[in-house]
Amino acid sequence: MIFCGMLDLCRIIFGIVVDLFRPRAALEAEILVLRQQIIVLRRGRPSRVPFLAVDRMVLGWVCQLFPKTREALAIVRPDTVVRWHRAGFRCYWRWKSRSRPGRPAVPGEIRQLIRQMSVANPFWGAPRIHGELLKLGIDIGQTSVAKYMARRRGPPSQGWKTFLRNHADGVAAMDLFVVPTVSFRLLYGLLIMGHGRRQILWLGVTAHPTAEWIANQLTAACGWEQIPRDLIRDRDTCYGSVFVRR
């Protein structure tokens, strides 16, 4: 018993000496942890020590800011305090990511008006109806207009698929592409393809593409065959006035 008392006295003296060199904030945090444990002990019963949400919040918050104060925990394990802190962290982010009310609902008469306008004007899209509603002083978004428009089974006019099916025989496309060689030179390839049967009409390669060369390639691609009515190309500067006349 005497040895245990001397050991406790040495621990107290050693703790006092260590506290002289500790920062003020760490001492205040440890005092706060000890006071909170005393409050819990005074409130509790001998069989079980109750911890309220405030106790868990204080202990978890202080021990997270000052990890060394976990050594001052006497009536609860440090792992339990860490588990409390993680549970509080999950509750916080669950509260942050909760579902919030979205945009205000569109009144029923405005929804009915949008539907009537879309039915009476089948060629009007969402931008046109949205503009007309703004002229009437009805402040509504274009996405909301598209949401409440009348649904149609087919497109109001001819689509691109129908257009290509009807005019593919008279449409050809051409484009230039770059081919790097083994000697680090650049060769330019010209590809002309007909959309009717999706076949390659011509393929030419040159190191210096000019408007005259591209015009000659176009003539060689058609030959004695019927020339395409429409030619699709990009706005590359190599297509000069000679090519346009050809």
Angle at 161 between CA 191 and CA 170, to 5 degrees: 45
Determine the pLDDT at residue 187: 92
Is 136's pLDDT higher than 80? yes
Determine the pLDDT at residue 5: 45
Is 51's pLDDT higher than 70? no
Determine the pLDDT at residue 163: 77
Confidence of residue 172 (pLDDT cuts 50, 70, 90): confident
Mean pLDDT of 126-153: 87
The pTM for the full model equals 0.36
Average pLDDT value over all residues in the chain = 77
- For β-strands 171-180 and 230-232, DSSP reports them as parallel
Determine the pLDDT at residue 20: 54
- Of 189, 121, 130, the C-alpha closest to 157 is 121
Mean pLDDT of 37-41: 67
**Which listed CATH number (3.30.420.10, 3.40.50.300, 3.40.50.410, 3.40.50.180) goes with 161-245?**
3.30.420.10
Confidence of residue 46 (pLDDT cuts 50, 70, 90): low
- Of 96, 142, 151, 164, the C-alpha closest to 132 is 142
Is 160's pLDDT higher than 60? yes
H-only helix segments in 44-169: 53-65, 78-96, 108-120, 126-135, 142-148, 160-167
| 232 touches 171 (CB < 8 A) | yes
Domain boundaries, the chain: 9-96, 108-148, 161-245
Is 1's pLDDT higher than 60? no
Determine the pLDDT at residue 18: 57
Beta bridge partners of 174: 192
Is 183's pLDDT higher than 70? yes
Burial of 98 (0-12, 13-18, 19+ CB in 10 A): exposed
